[in-house]
Chains A and B, each alone.
Chain A
């Protein structure tokens, strides 16, 4: 049984088909790269898996259980953690509290228990361990909004790890980072993999993808003929045309990975 199985997943926004029949399976302890040009639907795919919005068609199951109709918090409690392409830490909370939020569902399952104080020594020790792992020890009490981008990204990973995930969805972890920062982050991802956690990695930096991933899913933009008409849109809506195919990257993609 695969950790995550996605079958013929589609998503339409009005008349725009963002994803068209994507199928793949991810295994435990495996890192699966997801690449493709801008607008191919990579982030949409993550949003579908994490339950931000429901798919138009298709099947998703996690550890054999269908997650099709689940809400985001239910999916995250099953063990799917995620980070965001544009970082979304809780800006006005400190690093420690940011990580604490993800402990809620394990320690305060009922409303009655939720009225107990959230700063408990036992939980704080666990939080501290995660923060140290992410290399944020000296920033425990700093507000998330004051951290540089690289730290925010590591904070997001620490927060996702606090869920004790079986699967981690990483949306462009190295985007906007300096080389060393990126390298530190990759080290963290390797450690996570070593623990048997599965990772889905969206990444534009092909060096990173090549280093980490053995298998890769390539998403293409849905073909023009595949745009659908709906009652709401009398004519198909065309996505932004993808202009910025850098020659190097394009050649690289077509040569190595395009099926």
Chain B
């Protein structure tokens, strides 16, 4: 039987992978940079927690509602974000993150700095789910999301996103409804982040505003950039590596944000495509280690 510690890390990593995947839809597929993704994570977590503790809804309703709520807020916030691009969009989304965190922190309704406690793991078959069962549940949900992503990637929605990412002006001139597809990306990305938030709240049983701050947004973005913006498996690999790293050694945990910042800078400078992205050094290293230095490219 796997230990409780290991299963905790595994669940955390799947939740991070889900978050990185959701940010990848907005930033990787549709090309809209977001520095405030943790706010949707937070909206999902708080929606789910409030519905569960205050309104008494069961897990199976509160978590889907978390996705819906985050998706709606994502659409509402996505519409003003349509008017700005690139660096201005980055600053706007960052601002959104601070506002959302402040709302959770200062409104007594949301429990203030104390956060919300008393959220439990879901029940099924008349008992509470064990952690390994919970792990399998979110893994299955994540798998379904990845299947959906694959379908989207092959569909015209995926192509429309790619054209907007490449050149918004030219996409508009080719008949692509830029506004529609941008908002769609914001809705989907936010909703999946909200879903991850719901899972997170029920797993941690206790949430507070600091979990959903700007630092968290940077962690999620680091995972996406590290693994490879726009690739399907990149963000997941990024989430696994950057999720395991702090657990392997405690010093890394303490300087987590610093290390992520350095990683982000280093990747931007030397591997802008990420580990699994185009022009990655990874295949070259692998080839060299298999064929030796004389290996033919």
- A10 on the B face (CB < 8 A): no
From 86 to 122 in chain A, residues with beta carbon under 8 angstroms from any chain B beta carbon are 88-93, 97, 100-102, 104-105, 107-108, 111, 113-119
Sorting the interface of chain A by its residue count into under 10, 10 to 19, 20 to 34 or 35 or more gives: 35 or more
- A43 on the B face (CB < 8 A): no
Interface of B is mostly: helix
- CB distance B170 to A88 under 8 Å? yes
**Docked complex Cα distance between A117 and B278 (Å):** 23
- CB distance B172 to A100 under 8 Å? no
* Chain B hits for A90, CB < 8 A: 162-163, 166-167, 170-171
* Chain A hits for B157, CB < 8 A: 111, 114-115
Instruction: Decide: A111 near B184, CB < 8 A? Known: A90-B163, A101-B159, A104-B156.
Output: yes
Count, A-B residue pairs, CB within 8 A: 99
A73 partner, pick from B152, B154, B175, beta carbons under 8 A: B175
**Docked complex Cα distance between A91 and B278 (Å):** 14
**Docked complex Cα distance between A71 and B170 (Å):** 13
**Docked complex Cα distance between A105 and B171 (Å):** 11
* Chain A hits for B166, CB < 8 A: 90-93
**Docked complex Cα distance between A72 and B171 (Å):** 9
- B289 on the A face (CB < 8 A): no
From 34 to 53 in chain B, residues with beta carbon under 8 angstroms from any chain A beta carbon are none
- CB distance A119 to B169 under 8 Å? no
A118 partner, pick from B154, B167, B177, beta carbons under 8 A: B154
- A142 on the B face (CB < 8 A): no
- B151 on the A face (CB < 8 A): yes
Centre residue among B177, B180, B278 by max chain A CB count within 10 A = B177
- A82 on the B face (CB < 8 A): yes
How many Å from the CB of B96 to the closest CB on chain A?
25
28 of the cross-chain contacts (CB-CB < 8 Å) are: A52-B169, A52-B172, A71-B177, A72-B172, A72-B178, A73-B175, A73-B178, A76-B172, A76-B173, A88-B169, A90-B162, A91-B166, A92-B162, A101-B163, A102-B174, A102-B175, A104-B176, A107-B156, A108-B156, A113-B156, A114-B157, A115-B151, A115-B152, A115-B156, A117-B155, A118-B156, A118-B158, A163-B175
Interface residues of B (CB under 8 A from A): 151-152, 154-160, 162-163, 166-167, 169-180, 184, 278
